[in-house]
Structure 1
Amino acid sequence: MATEKQYRELFDRVAALRRQVAGNLSNELGSNPQVGEALLKQIDDMLFAVEAEDQSGPRPPDGGLAQLVGIGGESASDMGATRMPHGIENYDETIASERLLAVADVYYLYQHERMGMFRVVQKLRELFERGAIRLFDGEGAFGLYRFDRRDVLRYTRRDRLNAYRRVLGYGRGLGSGHSRPNTDFHRLFTQFNNQVALFWRDKRVSDVIRERAHDPSFGSMAVVRRSGLDLRNNLKFTSYGHLNVLRVEVMQLLDECFRILNAEDVKDLFGAANAWDVMDEVLVRYFNQPIVSSPRQRMAVTGRKVLRWLAAPHILETTRSEFEALLLEIAEPAEEWLTSAESLRLADRSSSKRLLPWDRQQTAGVTTPHRGDRRVVRRRPVSARRPRR
């Protein structure tokens, strides 16, 4: 149990140690800043170990109040002898990784839902029941039969759309269970991908035009970390409920749908080479829908990879070299997600604006309309206006 005097002395000694290390290594730090970063990291780890040991130690039953107010035989003679806690657990370290992994899979499923894979299989099932397609006893025909028989045991399309609305904010209306939609997800997700992409773009430029590319002033870790923590905190309370069971079931449904589309008799029916060609052919022939399978599928893959990265504690890393090494895993996925989203007009690159205001209201997944797309407001004729008083 640390006292208030020990608390002050600890930070005074740590500050003196930092100053002494910086003074002794001033010449070496000028040519190699990574040495100073490693030393400061060791000092921070020592301070963290002292704080953790103090928090895990025994505490008085009254929390030290008797010492402070002067009651009983344990009352403190001065302020320095009273108990001084170091603090509480950090907010950003209390997020469970399994819930963010579930959200990543839900985002993956949503993009395939928007692609139309489930609608395509439903259409094939309707045509199969009417005898409108030449399927009889092949693998695809048997898969469509099982797909129809299991339909009553699965979550419905409305259940899936309500879950997407609650967790990701995509769609319209209320979320599942009449919950509040998470309308902030898309702009926070876009913001994080923008900051990751901008961080690595700055690094590539600095590697080319700067004399010392290892100088840590080329990009801001704090901006990337803050945008990632904002996204993690946003998903913290939307990942409860039946989300885990739903994503497991719908992932199984997605796998079943792809196997049906990839069956040989179904591919021969449409003259397709693979399951994706079958899906595109059905969407064009029966739904008159433009083909967006490629960008949507890449958004699904790269978006899930970025969200899975956030599920790990990498975003809390404070050492620049380690943070960059861990962030490299999603450098290309973030760029690819932005490019795919831009092609669908679902995101913009923030090249000049480093930060996105928190109070900026924009519908999730919808870009701001252009000037030519605005509605023309017709003014009333002069004779119909009220006279001035």
Structure 2
Amino acid sequence: MGTEKEYRELFDRVAALRGQVAGKLANELGSDPKLGDAVLKQLDDMLTAVETEQRGRPGPADGGIAQLVGLGDGSAADLGATAMPPGVDAYDETVASERVIAVGDLYYLYQHERIGVFRVVQKLQELFQGGAIRLSDGPGAFGLYRFDRRDVLRYTRRDRVSAYRRVLGYGKGLGSANSRPNTDFHQLFTQFSNQVALFWRDKRISDVVRERAYDPSFGSVAVVRRSGLDLRNNLKFTSYGHLNVLRVEVMQLLTEAFKILGSEDVLDLFGAANAWDTVDEVLIRYFDQRLVSSPRQRMAVTGRQVLRWLAAPHILETTRSEFEALLLEIAEPAEEWLTSAQSLRLADRTNSREVLPADRQRPAGVAVSRAEPRPVTPRRNGHRPGTVITLDRK
């Protein structure tokens, strides 16, 4: 821990160094703005290294209060000789990546649940046990038997639905163990996807309008970063508990389900070419359901990609050129997620660069996405079209 004088002089020297470098490189900076980013990054790294070294120094046992108030032999003669802490660790650097990755997997599973993959397998089980379909001893029939026998060892559908409600805020009621549902997730996720898509649309326009455009008005890094941090911080407290174990188990369950749906005897039974054709055929034939398999599945894949990107420290990159290079990884996934969500009326595009306020109220003139509605399924058994069918309905 350094003194207040050393602390003050450090920033004075850094400021003088920045001014001197900017003056000497003025001509080069005008023709190559990326040079300024490189110089500033080196200076920032030097300052960070000095602050880290000062933070590692052992300070006074009392934290410096005796020096400050003038008690004892070690009292300071003036303010500059007192101990000056450099600060605490940044809040946004304390998020565990494995928990955000787990949320991405849970979102992937939720979309497949909404498509109806597990309902399809359950329906096949009912038909198989009742002898209503021509399956006997093939790989699909044996897989359905094992799928049923292992049911007592797995999380139930109600457990899954409660986890979706607690972590993602989808559905209704309380989350797992009567916990508070994360109703802000969808709004924050849509906002982040919108800002990423808007950033790259502006960037492409700037590249067309003028060569080597580097105007901050063409894509705001700060707005993208703030919306990403808001989403990541939202997931910080909802990703504890049994989420990691549950998503591993349900991912195994999903893989097992697709092995059954893609087995040779099941494909022959429905005249399907692959497991997804089987899913669609069962949903149409036995549930009379309007198919949303394609947009939902793309939302699952691209949404998981975006959340996995947030689990990495890329969002904290301060250099514009490096941030753009890292953000390029999710430029197309964010656009595709928005397009798929729009086709299902689950998200709205916005051209506003404003971020959501902390109280989650809608700012004036900003389109905010709707929360995911309950699934609506027309049925043949007497229910009117538009009847709400919940995920945990038996």
Check whether TM > 0.5: yes
User: What letter corresponds to residue 319 of structure 2 in structure 1?
Assistant: T
Deviation at 1:200, TM superposition (A): 0.4
The match for 1:69 is 69
Deviation at 1:216, TM superposition (A): 4.5
Instruction: Report the Cα distance in structure 2 between the residues aligned to 1:155 and 1:217, rounded to whole angstroms.
Output: 49
The match for 1:386 is none
Instruction: Report the Cα distance in structure 2 between the residues aligned to 1:354 and 1:70, rounded to whole angstroms.
Output: 49
The match for 1:151 is 151
User: What letter corresponds to residue 77 of structure 2 in structure 1?
Assistant: S
Deviation at 1:211, TM superposition (A): 4.0
The match for 2:112 is 112
Q: How many residues align?
A: 367
The match for 1:359 is 361
The match for 1:382 is none
User: What letter corresponds to residue 34 of structure 2 in structure 1?
Assistant: Q
User: What letter corresponds to residue 328 of structure 2 in structure 1?
Assistant: L
1:334-345 correspondence runs (5 A) = 334-345=334-345
The match for 2:315 is 315
Instruction: Report the Cα distance in structure 2 between the residues aligned to 1:95 and 1:147, rounded to whole angstroms.
Output: 37
Query: Percentage identity across aligned positions?
Result: 78
| Contact kept in structure 1, 2:174 and 2:180, CA below 8 Å | yes
Cα 1:207/1:363, change in 2 over 3 Å: closer
Deviation at 1:57, TM superposition (A): 1.4
The match for 1:90 is 90
* Per-residue deviation, residues 55-76 of structure 1 (Å, max 9, x unmatched): 1111211111111111111100
Partner secondary structure for residue 87 of structure 2: coil
Instruction: Report the Cα distance in structure 2 between the residues aligned to 1:252 and 1:294, rounded to whole angstroms.
Output: 22
The match for 1:184 is 184
Instruction: Report the Cα distance in structure 2 between the residues aligned to 1:351 and 1:262, rounded to whole angstroms.
Output: 43
Deviation at 1:37, TM superposition (A): 1.1
| Contact kept in structure 2, 1:183 and 1:363, CA below 8 Å | no
Instruction: Report the Cα distance in structure 1 between the residues aligned to 2:211 and 2:329, rounded to whole angstroms.
Output: 26
Q: Which moved more, 1:20-29 or 1:110-119?
A: 20-29
| Contact kept in structure 2, 1:232 and 1:310, CA below 8 Å | yes
1:121-132 correspondence runs (5 A) = 121-132=121-132
Instruction: Report the Cα distance in structure 1 between the residues aligned to 2:234 and 2:261, rounded to whole angstroms.
Output: 36
Instruction: Report the Cα distance in structure 2 between the residues aligned to 1:193 and 1:120, rounded to whole angstroms.
Output: 31
Instruction: Report the Cα distance in structure 2 between the residues aligned to 1:71 and 1:247, rounded to whole angstroms.
Output: 58
Instruction: Report the Cα distance in structure 1 between the residues aligned to 2:46 and 2:180, rounded to whole angstroms.
Output: 44
User: What letter corresponds to residue 10 of structure 2 in structure 1?
Assistant: L
1:112-261 correspondence runs (5 A) = 112-261=112-261
Instruction: Report the Cα distance in structure 1 between the residues aligned to 2:100 and 2:371, rounded to whole angstroms.
Output: 19
| Contact kept in structure 2, 1:345 and 1:366, CA below 8 Å | no
| Contact kept in structure 1, 2:164 and 2:170, CA below 8 Å | yes
Q: Which moved more, 1:356-365 or 1:282-291?
A: 356-365
Instruction: Report the Cα distance in structure 2 between the residues aligned to 1:130 and 1:321, rounded to whole angstroms.
Output: 62
Instruction: Report the Cα distance in structure 1 between the residues aligned to 2:369 and 2:183, rounded to whole angstroms.
Output: 8
The match for 2:327 is 327
| Contact kept in structure 1, 2:305 and 2:330, CA below 8 Å | yes
* Per-residue deviation, residues 235-288 of structure 1 (Å, max 9, x unmatched): 000000000110010000000000000001001000111100100010011111
The match for 2:101 is 101
Deviation at 1:355, TM superposition (A): 3.4
Instruction: Report the Cα distance in structure 1 between the residues aligned to 2:50 and 2:76, rounded to whole angstroms.
Output: 23
Deviation at 1:353, TM superposition (A): 5.7
Deviation at 1:27, TM superposition (A): 1.1
1:287 aligns with 2:287: yes
Coordinate RMSD, CA, aligned: 1.3
Deviation at 1:217, TM superposition (A): 4.2
The match for 2:389 is none
| Contact kept in structure 1, 2:166 and 2:176, CA below 8 Å | yes
Instruction: Report the Cα distance in structure 2 between the residues aligned to 1:61 and 1:353, rounded to whole angstroms.
Output: 48
| Contact kept in structure 2, 1:195 and 1:354, CA below 8 Å | no
| Contact kept in structure 1, 2:347 and 2:369, CA below 8 Å | no
Deviation at 1:352, TM superposition (A): 4.1
Deviation at 1:214, TM superposition (A): 3.9
* Per-residue deviation, residues 1-53 of structure 1 (Å, max 9, x unmatched): 21111111111111111111111111111111111111011000000001001
Gaps of 5+ in 2: 363-367, 375-394
* Per-residue deviation, residues 75-107 of structure 1 (Å, max 9, x unmatched): 001111000011000000000000001000000
1:45 aligns with 2:52: no
Partner secondary structure for residue 150 of structure 1: helix
| Contact kept in structure 1, 2:346 and 2:370, CA below 8 Å | no
| Contact kept in structure 2, 1:2 and 1:85, CA below 8 Å | yes
1:20 aligns with 2:4: no
Instruction: Report the Cα distance in structure 1 between the residues aligned to 2:353 and 2:100, rounded to whole angstroms.
Output: 28
Instruction: Report the Cα distance in structure 2 between the residues aligned to 1:81 and 1:344, rounded to whole angstroms.
Output: 64
1:29-40 correspondence runs (5 A) = 29-40=29-40
User: What letter corresponds to residue 264 of structure 2 in structure 1?
Assistant: E
Deviation at 1:354, TM superposition (A): 3.9
User: What letter corresponds to residue 12 of structure 1 in structure 2?
Assistant: D
Instruction: Report the Cα distance in structure 2 between the residues aligned to 1:362 and 1:25, rounded to whole angstroms.
Output: 46
Instruction: Report the Cα distance in structure 2 between the residues aligned to 1:263 and 1:217, rounded to whole angstroms.
Output: 54
